[in-house]
Amino acid sequence: MAVTHVKRAFKYRFYPTDAQAAELSRTFGCVRKVYNMALQARTEAWTLCQERVGYNATSAMLTAWKKVEELAYLCEVSSVPLQQALRHLQGAFANFWQKRAGYPTFKSRKKSRKCAEYTSSAFRYRDGRLTLAKMRQPLDIVWSRPLPDGVVPTTVTVSLDAAGRWFVSLLCVDGPAMPEPVNRAVGIDAGITALVTLSTGERITNPRHERKDRERLARAQRNLARKARGDGANRAKARLKVGRAYARIADRRRDFLHKLTTRLVRENQTIVIEDLAVRNMLKNRTLARVISDAGWSEMRSMLEYKADWYGRDLVVVDRWFPSSKLCSACGTLRGRMPLDVREWTCDCGTTHDRDVNAAINILAAGLAVAACGDGVRPQRSTPGGRSSMKQEVVPPPRSRAAAQPRG
């Protein structure tokens, strides 16, 4: 069924007044307090009485908490972000029960993300001006790009990052971007030296943003380490410099991945990727740093939602599929192949580049799965820990890669 509407978030930077910053800071603190109290109440109810406390019960608790003298400050901020915090806690428990995440943890004043979510009843958006509840003046937003015509925000999320920057994210319901369909498919092999290698033979070099700014980050961290705990303003300034160094790395990485994934989605109708176990790979101390810097998980997330936006097909191949050890010309499966082997010659006489050969095999396997009508939509996980690609499939023309057994 064709997608008629998609949800898009438009994120902008804004500069609050002193009064707005104080109001938002109070709201962040109240959101964190309500979340932690609700989590503690639900944990105690289950520990002591084996009773599950849901959202409605915690909402009633919030009403009672506001009447307590010690918690009277909860009435000074908008009630909507507090209710949204309870909904987020309910979602965290739902993910825990369905084994998609661990047990919810308490929010930290120093480490947790500072944010507050406002629904349509708690903000006013008119003529390009956004005013939040409990505020008299609209936010001074830098509109780096306009919202689509006729689109009105349904949810507004305000956040403050570790670098001291204020952001507002506007969630809107918009029609999908439906470009002309193209008769092209591409297989993608993720790597370290080359961030991605395409089945066309193209390599996209890994920019390694963290390595380029490593000296600046190390200097800022050493400066922070020299500040004694409790050193007030000096330690806060040093912590802000560390946050800005991390933010610079993350911003550059995200910008690069956005440009790369948008190009791949626009140019290809079918995109085939490999289901990488990034969390397990990070246990390798030698490669953990460069794998984290590559941002493979973030790239996959971008490909997933952009494929939905543009009406493309994203196929995920099983992580156990031997893409590197399989000859894309004759289908022969080679034995053990260490990471330092970048080129190899098959018994049929074909010399393969390891990454290009893997990308070609990934594409062939993905097209076979798509032809069978299985696994077209991306899957994060399936029962047993393996995706639906783990099956015998009909090989596409000019390749028998997908029909070979796992090595």
255 is catalytic: no
Q: Beta partners for 118?
A: 156
Residue 199 per-residue DSSP state: T
Residue 364, amino acid: A
Of 23, 117, 189, 318, which is the active-site residue? 189
Residue 41, amino acid: A
Spatial separation of the C-alpha atoms in residues 81 and 71, rounded to whole Å: 16
Contact 292, 285 (CB under 8 A): no
Q: Helix or strand or coil: residue 112?
A: coil
189 is catalytic: yes
Of 117, 293, 318, 355, which is the active-site residue? 355
Residue 74: name the closest of 118, 39, 32, 113 by CA: 32
Q: Beta partners for 129?
A: 126
Q: In sequence order, what are the residues at sequence separation of 6 or more whose Cβ sits closer than 8 angstroms to the Cβ of residue 79?
A: none
Give strand ranges (E) for 191-261: 194-198, 203-205
Task: Name the pairing type of β-strands 114-119 and 153-160.
Answer: antiparallel
Of 23, 210, 274, 293, which is the active-site residue? 274
Spatial separation of the C-alpha atoms in residues 107 and 37, rounded to whole Å: 10
CA atoms within 13 A on the CB side of 300: 20
Spatial separation of the C-alpha atoms in residues 288 and 279, rounded to whole Å: 10
293 is catalytic: no
Spatial separation of the C-alpha atoms in residues 208 and 195, rounded to whole Å: 9
As annotated, the active-site residues are 189, 274, 355
